[in-house]
Amino acid sequence: MIEVTEKPIEVEKVLQSVVTEKSGGFVHFIGSVRQEKGISGLDYECYPAMARSILVKIMNEAKQRWKVERMAIVHRYGWVAVGESSVVIAVAAEHRREAFAACEFVIEEIKKKAPIWKRERFSYVQNS
Amino acid sequence: MIEVTEKPIEVEKVLQSVVTEKSGGFVHFIGSVRQEKGISGLDYECYPAMARSILVKIMNEAKQRWKVERMAIVHRYGWVAVGESSVVIAVAAEHRREAFAACEFVIEEIKKKAPIWKRERFSYVQNS
Amino acid sequence: MKIHLRFFATLCNRFGTGEQEIEIEAPQEAREIFRSLFEDRNLADRMIRFVRFAVNCEYVSPETLVHDGDELAFIPPVSGG
Amino acid sequence: MKIHLRFFATLCNRFGTGEQEIEIEAPQEAREIFRSLFEDRNLADRMIRFVRFAVNCEYVSPETLVHDGDELAFIPPVSGG
């Protein structure tokens, strides 16, 4: 499951999507917008078609490097309120070390490569 | 949240227990009994009072080593059917690398130190 | 030859638009197309250091030739996750 | 002095019980109590290599003195998670 979406991420559904009785270890990463300095959320700009293709590439590379059974990556864009998730990654594997390594690799790669931008807060100040 | 329990783990509840709007990164590890060689589950023997105290120690050590905001560890014992979870670890942190490191540390320490044993299948053969 | 340009984040602010069509005579390097958008070539060269190029949703080297009908995106440092 | 012993996994099978009360005269090392449970001291020494000791739910060194009222557990290699 790979998704780049403007809608709130159904976290439970993403985590469930990698569950099979053949996997013994599941590692998840969830990135959320956290409360700081009185903000009510963050606006993510995105190049959706490319973001999707980059996520597919990252998933394929992770699957080549580690023995992973299933993987799901969902990234949200647009306005994400404090407490809501911006990214959810779920990895199912036979061995926990592979699951951890693959999951951490995916979020690191997303941070480096996915064409997604948190909009700078000063841009709102300029517009006001 | 630390629990050593014979009841099915309410996974969603454990994951939710570490959520606050102050944390931006969540890492989970879920260990489940996986389908293999036609088994229908695994029987976990446990020394509950000590297991609980070891889990508390592991959590405290993880919190000393990494900047972690919240953590939950639940380990099940007794009969765990295929597809059910035997252990659920949830870590909330400001920084994802700390969350990953702490979560992986916790499961590695559990594997080394928690007084919990998967009952060998041959013991059932002997009894039959 | 028509090229579809995409601008994001700071570049979108800089150019005041997220998309633009341009006409070129022959296939051209991605970085040359980027440079041609600036009157101030020094500014262009400074910005090129932190911009990556994508053609049809794939990262490419700055020297990659862009062809008729391609979508060329300029990707400033990303901050997803 | 009463000591409460706990056996788990393979040791539970070996001794046919999960718990046992013993009487000792004076505080004794955990490993000595373990050894005293075996008639075959060679077997005891072989097993001691892979058994850990816990007093009142904390891992302790094999030389730790066990006192009246303590719960002494013998922990064979664990396999939780």
Is CATH 3.40.920.10 the right assignment for the domain spanning D2-75?
no
The residue among A47, A74, A124 with the most chain C CBs within 10 A of its CB, best to mutate, is A47
* Average pLDDT of the residues in A30-37: 91
For the stretch D50-66, pLDDT in tens is 999 999 999 999 999 99
Sequence-ordered list of residues with C-beta below 8 angstroms from that of B42, at least 6 positions apart, any chain: B33, B79, B80, B86, B118, B119
- Residues in contact with D15: Cβ distance below 8 Å, sequence separation at least 6, in sequence order: D7, D37
pLDDT band at B124 (very low <50, low <70, confident <90, very high): very low
Q: State the burial class of residue A23 (Cβ atoms within 10 Å of its Cβ: 0-12, 13-18, 19+).
A: buried
A104 contacts B29? CB cut-off 8 A = no
How does residue B118 score in pLDDT terms, banded at 50, 70 and 90?
Answer: very high
Average pLDDT, integer, range B58-78: 97
Is residue A42 less than 8 Å (CB to CB) from chain C? no
Q: Is some CB atom of chain D closer than 8 A to the CB atom of B47?
A: yes
pLDDT at A70: 97
The predicted complex's ipTM stands at 0.91
Residue D50: how many other CB atoms lie within 10 Å: 10
Mutate to test the interface with B, among A26, A44, A88 (most CBs of B within 10 A): A26
Helices (H), chain D: 9-15, 30-36, 41-48
Q: Kindly write down the DSSP assignment for every residue of chain B, as one continuous string.
A: -EEEESSPP-HHHHHHTT--TT--EEEEEEEEPPP-TT--EEEEEE-HHHHHHHHHHHHHHHHHHS--SEEEEEEE-EEEETTSEEEEEEEEESSHHHHHHHHHHHHHHHHHHS-EEEPPTHHHHHH-
Q: Which residue of D has its CA nearest to B89?
A: D81
Name the 3-class secondary structure at D47.
helix
Mean pLDDT calculated for residue range B31-41: 88
pLDDT digits (tens, 9 = 90+) for A37-88: 778 899 999 999 999 999 999 999 999 999 999 999 999 999 999 999 999 9
Cβ-based neighbours of A74, under 8 Å, separated by 6 or more:
A1, A2, A3, A4, A5, A9, A14, A87, A88
**Distance in Å, alpha carbon of A24 to nearest chain B alpha carbon:** 5
Q: Does C81 touch chain A (CB under 8 A)?
A: yes
Contact criterion met (CB < 8 Å) for A45 and C9:
yes
Sheet containing strand A41-46, edge to edge, reads A78-81, A41-46, A116-118
Which residue from B31, B49, B116 is facing D78, i.e. has the nearest CB?
B116
**Residue A105 CA to its chain's centroid (Å):** 12
For position A120, what pLDDT does the model report?
Answer: 54
Distance to chain B for D11, nearest Cα, Å: 12
What element of type H or E holds C23?
strand C19-23
- Give residue A36's pLDDT: 83
* Contact across the interface for B34 and A23, Cβ inside 8 Å: yes
Which DSSP string corresponds to C53-77?
A: EEETTEEE-TTPEE-TT-EEEEEPP
The tokens for B111 are 């594997």
Indicate the average pLDDT of chain D. 96
The model's pLDDT over B74-114, given as tens digits with 9 standing for 90+, comes to 999 999 999 999 999 999 999 999 999 999 999 999 999 99
Q: Is the pLDDT of residue A124 over 50?
A: no
Instruction: Map residue D64 onto helix, strand or coil.
Output: coil
- Please name the residue of chain B whose CA is at the shortest distance from the CA of residue A81: B21
| Predicted pLDDT of residue B33 | 94
Contact B87, B30 (CB under 8 A): yes
How many residues would you count in chain A?
128
Residue B120: the pLDDT is 54
Token pair, residue A36, equals 């700081």
Mean pLDDT score, C59-72:
98
Residue in C71, C75, C70, C69 with CA at minimum distance from that of residue C50: C75
- In this structure, what are the phi and psi dihedrals at residue D79, rounded to the nearest 5 degrees? -150, 45
Contacts of A85 (CB under 8 A, 6+ apart): A8, A9, A11, A30, A31, A32, A76
User: pLDDT tens, B5-35?
Assistant: 999 999 999 999 999 988 999 999 999 999 8
- Which residues in B lie closer than 8 A to residue D12 (C-beta atoms)? 45
Q: Is D7 helix (H, G, I), strand (E, B) or coil?
A: strand
Closest CA relative to residue A77, chosen from A110, A105, A99: A110
Q: Name the pTM for this structure.
A: 0.92
How far is it, in rounded angstroms, from Cα B4 to Cα C61? 54
Determine the residue type at B13: K
Are C78 and A45 in contact (CB < 8 Å)? no
Mean pLDDT of A84-106: 97
What DSSP element (H or E) covers D66?
Answer: strand D65-66
Which chain D residue is nearest to residue B48, measuring alpha carbons?
D57
- Please indicate if any CB of chain D lies within 8 Å of the CB of B87: yes
Grade residue B49 by pLDDT with cuts at 50, 70 and 90: very high
Q: What is the pLDDT of residue B128?
A: 38
Average pLDDT over residues B52-78: 98
**Nearest chain A Cα to B107, which residue?**
A96
- Residue C2: what are its φ and ψ, rounded to 5°? -100, 135
Chain A environment of B40 (Cβ under 8 Å): none
pLDDT of residue B119: 86
Question: Which pLDDT value is given to residue A121?
Answer: 55
Residues of B in contact with D8 (CB under 8 A): 45, 47, 115, 117
Q: What is the pLDDT of residue A119?
A: 86
Q: Could you give phi then psi for residue C22, rounded to 5 degrees? A: -125, 160
The half-sphere exposure of A93 on its side-chain side, counting CA atoms within 13 A, is 20
Q: Which of C51, C57, C72 to mutate to test the interface with A (most CBs of A within 10 A)?
A: C57
Report pLDDT digits (tens) over D17-53: 999 999 999 999 999 999 999 999 999 999 999 999 9
